[in-house]
């Protein structure tokens, strides 16, 4: 069985055809942007030699098998240069056409303005926000190294390389620095970062804003640094890239000096080359310099013999694919049990029976939901494809599982220490999820979700199954004060399309929520948990199904037809106390626990009606956070008990009461909504005052 899978045969080289392919790539970028009047051609032009060598000679990929597990991953972190990637996907046989390139950035095209995974064959990640691709590539490399260590520790069968192309802007963003620092610490030598060192950003030259020694910085991170000073020397590029994939115990930065917009005389090396067309005259001059007629149309920019030459990547990829399949077959013959485990992992086969062993306590027990969640993660460790860690808060958020940490010397480690790098942590989770089929999780305090927000948004956009475990979920954090007390974060997270925000009321709901989370690998989840102990509430046989439905009647007096009190998390027991108090007044109330409004909104109209009848207009929502969005559920006749100001330092119960989350406030809100004349056209309609102190 082969023990080395990182090398790759190159396309049989032909200097003249290589030169034509590079010239065509440059001309295509300039032509398409000028024809459309918008787009980003400068970087695609400058990196045409690099991308041609990478895709034709070095990258392990098989265009006829785009999902081949043994392929290298390529991430274009500088996503605005999407034409660079689309051109290579066209040249190497991924199904794109010249017409697709011409339609870039238009509605419904296969070539959107920035690359989008699951939309264009050959695109590994949705990129565009600068630095995200770098950080997620770190996650891809981590996941690949972990999978290899767990399933094929004596072989390089699964040890492919993750490549990422980044610009100056990517390396200025903090998220790339956070992730690169961790990559160096972890010794991810299956990661190669190619830095387009062109010295230009949108507004100016980088000397005005980016004067640091990037090479020295990456050496300080623990990276190996290689240089390419001749950006048009294809053989020199190939030699350097092949050196970059050697396993040395360190990730590699390849610093490539380029001239943005080359070979344009007027725009080359200037900020004006970043975006927009060069004008008809300059485009004609560029085409002439590249060996084309000055007025050559799009289809004349790629000669048939050039395309035939670059499409040799299909045969090259087929060779790589068949060799890898032979290695996999040999592995199967030698280690059938290991192969069976790997296939089950890749096929998403796992059991959730371990959840049955989690001690959820008895009614009335006091258990913080963060503690139950920790018990869930430890129970599932080794039985479900969960893998993750914490931003230096594992002891507090209780997410650490049994076993050793993932490290340079122990890539099979069960737990990741991300360090105090919240933004990179979220971006790395995206990379792990893209590599798949791990369900990555990461944990910190809810208030620090703000540090993670751009990566969370991107994960939701890509439909990735990351799980963000947030504890210390309200002003009940207490003594640490307002800097650590989340107020607006819950409401803010719920505005992210495709993100499921889950706030369980007790340990029973935590376990039930995990059953749905594990069954939904194409949705990111923000799991919101309490620091403080919460009472285990009385449950019925409908509780687990109600939780997975996102909302259900957790407690009811009589037929519950007078009033509905909606609540999440730590406020559900408060809602039940209020409803029980109102019952002594003869008020028939139902308490709706709504651990996930997104799940509830996705239920059938009949189910939602059974929980919240339209005729039941007297409604109160209570949650220890901003409350505006709850009017979707309580209506204009309802009331919302919420926290509308930052907190302060004091004990959790004191701060909750000071900010209006207490029994009297819920009862007062209930009386107010019950007193509202339902349907009276003379009653002013508009959101009532939020119930705060």
Does the annotation list 362 as a binding residue? no
CA distances from 625 to 46, 348, 570, 657 (A): 50, 37, 11, 13
Does the annotation list 200 as a binding residue? yes
Contact predicate 387/146, CB 8 Å: yes
Strand 525-528 with 366-367, pairing: unpaired
Q: What is the DSSP string of 409-422?
A: S-TT-SEEE--S-H
Does the annotation list 198 as a binding residue? yes
Q: List Cβ neighbours of 373 (8 Å cut-off, separation of 6 or more).
A: 398, 399, 469, 471, 510, 527, 529
Distance CA 589, CA 580 (A): 8
Does the annotation list 531 as a binding residue? yes
Burial class of residue 403 (count of CB atoms within 10 Å of its CB; 0-12, 13-18, 19+): middle
Catalytically annotated residue among 124, 173, 282, 422: 422
Q: How many CB atoms lie within 10 A of CB 345?
A: 17
Report how far Cα 491 is from the mean position of its chain's Cα atoms. 20
Does the annotation list 658 as a binding residue? no
H or E stretch covering 333: helix 312-334
Q: How many CA atoms within 13 Å lie on the side-chain side of 89?
A: 24
Does the annotation list 388 as a binding residue? no
Does the annotation list 504 as a binding residue? no
Does the annotation list 557 as a binding residue? no
Does the annotation list 128 as a binding residue? yes
Does the annotation list 169 as a binding residue? yes
Does the annotation list 681 as a binding residue? no
Give the max Cα distance, the chain.
91
Tokens representing residue 380 in the block: 């599932």
Burial class of residue 687 (count of CB atoms within 10 Å of its CB; 0-12, 13-18, 19+): middle
Quickly tell me which residue has 């002891």 as its tokens. 395
Strand 252-257 with 191-197, pairing: parallel
Tokens representing residue 544 in the block: 């687990």
Tokens representing residue 451 in the block: 């540090």
Does the annotation list 274 as a binding residue? yes
The shares of helix, strand and coil residues in the chain, as percent rounded to the nearest 5, are 45, 15, 45
Does the annotation list 472 as a binding residue? yes
H or E stretch covering 458: helix 449-462
Does the annotation list 581 as a binding residue? no
Does the annotation list 396 as a binding residue? yes
- Assess whether 349 carries a catalytic annotation: no
Q: How many CA atoms within 13 Å lie on the side-chain side of 567?
A: 26
Does the annotation list 671 as a binding residue? no
Does the annotation list 337 as a binding residue? no
Binding-site residue numbers for thiamine diphosphate are 80, 128-130, 169, 198, 274, 448
Binding-site residue numbers for substrate are 40, 274, 370, 396, 472, 480, 484, 531
Active site residues: 422
Binding-site residue numbers are 40, 80, 128-130, 168-169, 198, 200, 274, 370, 396, 448, 472, 480, 484, 531
């Amino acid at each position: 069985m082969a023990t080395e899978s990182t090398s790759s045969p190159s396309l049989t080289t032909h200097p003249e055809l290589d030169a034509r392919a590079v010239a065509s790539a440059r001309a295509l970028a300039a032509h398409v942007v000028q024809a459309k009047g918008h787009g980003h051609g400068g970087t695609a032009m400058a990196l045409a030699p690099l991308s041609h060598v990478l895709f034709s000679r070095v990258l392990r990929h098989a265009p006829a098998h785009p999902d081949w597990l043994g392929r290298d991953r390529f991430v274009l972190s500088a996503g605005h240069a999407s034409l660079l990637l689309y051109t290579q996907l066209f040249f190497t046989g991924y199904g794109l056409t010249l017409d697709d390139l011409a339609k870039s950035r238009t509605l419904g095209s296969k070539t959107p303005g920035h690359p989008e995974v699951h939309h264009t064959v050959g695109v590994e990640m949705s990129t565009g926000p600068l630095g995200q691709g770098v950080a997620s590539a770190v996650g891809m490399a981590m996941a690949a190294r972990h999978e290899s260590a767990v399933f094929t520790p004596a072989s390089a069968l699964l040890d492919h390389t993750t490549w990422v192309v980044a610009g100056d802007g990517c390396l200025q963003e903090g998220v790339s620095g956070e992730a690169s620092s961790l990559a160096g610490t972890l010794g991810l030598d299956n990661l190669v970062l190619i830095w387009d060192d062109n010295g230009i950003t949108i507004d100016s030259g980088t000397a005005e804003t980016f004067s640091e020694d990037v090479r020295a910085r990456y050496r300080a991170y623990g990276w190996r640094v290689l240089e390419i000073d001749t950006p048009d020397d294809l053989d020199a590029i190939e030699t350097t890239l092949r050196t970059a994939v050697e396993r040395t115990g360190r990730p590699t930065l390849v610093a490539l000096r380029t001239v943005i917009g080359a070979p344009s005389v007027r725009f080359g090396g200037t900020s004006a080359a970043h975006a927009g067309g060069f004008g008809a005259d300059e485009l004609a001059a560029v085409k002439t310099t590249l060996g084309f007629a000055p007025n050559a149309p799009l289809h004349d920019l790629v000669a048939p013999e050039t395309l035939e030459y670059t499409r040799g990547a299909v045969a090259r990829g087929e060779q790589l694919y068949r060799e890898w399949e032979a290695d996999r077959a040999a592995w199967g013959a030698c280690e059938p049990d290991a192969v069976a485990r790997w296939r089950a992992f890749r096929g998403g086969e796992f059991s959730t029976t371990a959840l049955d062993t989690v001690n959820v306590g008895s009614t009335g027990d006091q258990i913080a939901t963060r503690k139950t969640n920790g018990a869930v993660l430890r129970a599932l460790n080794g039985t479900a494809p969960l893998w993750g860690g914490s931003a230096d808060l594992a002891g507090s958020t209780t997410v650490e599982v049994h076993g050793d940490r993932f490290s340079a010397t122990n890539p099979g480690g069960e737990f990741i220490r991300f360090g105090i790098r919240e933004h990179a942590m979220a971006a790395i989770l995206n990379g792990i999820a893209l590599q798949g089929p791990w369900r990555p999780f990461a944990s910190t305090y809810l208030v620090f979700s703000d540090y993670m927000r751009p990566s969370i948004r991107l994960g939701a956009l890509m439909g990735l199954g990351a799980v963000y475990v947030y504890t210390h979920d309200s002003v009940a954090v207490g003594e640490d004060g307002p800097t650590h007390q989340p107020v607006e974060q819950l409401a803010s997270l719920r505005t992210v399309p495709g993100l499921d925000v889950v706030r369980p009321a007790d340990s029973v709901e935590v376990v039930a929520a995990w059953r749905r989370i594990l069954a939904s690998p194409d949705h990111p989840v923000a799991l919101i948990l309490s620091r403080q102990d919460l009472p285990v509430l009385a449950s019925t046989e409908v509780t687990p199904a109600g939780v997975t439905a996102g909302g259900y009647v957790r407690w009811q007096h009589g037929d519950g037809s007078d009033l509905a009190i909606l609540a999440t998390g730590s406020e559900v027991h408060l809602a039940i106390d209020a409803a029980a108090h109102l019952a002594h007044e003869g008020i028939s109330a139902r308490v709706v626990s709504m651990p996930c409004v997104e799940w509830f909104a996705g239920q059938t109209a009949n189910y939602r009606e059974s929980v919240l009848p339209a005729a039941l207009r007297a409604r109160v929502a209570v949650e220890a956070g901003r409350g505006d969005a709850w009017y979707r559920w309580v209506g204009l006749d309802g009331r919302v008990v919420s926290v509308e100001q930052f907190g302060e330092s004091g004990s959790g119960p004191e701060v909750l009461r000071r900010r209006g989350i207490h029994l009297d406030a819920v009862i007062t809100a209930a009386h107010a909504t019950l007193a509202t004349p339902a349907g009276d056209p003379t009653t002013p309609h508009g959101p009532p005052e939020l119930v705060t102190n």
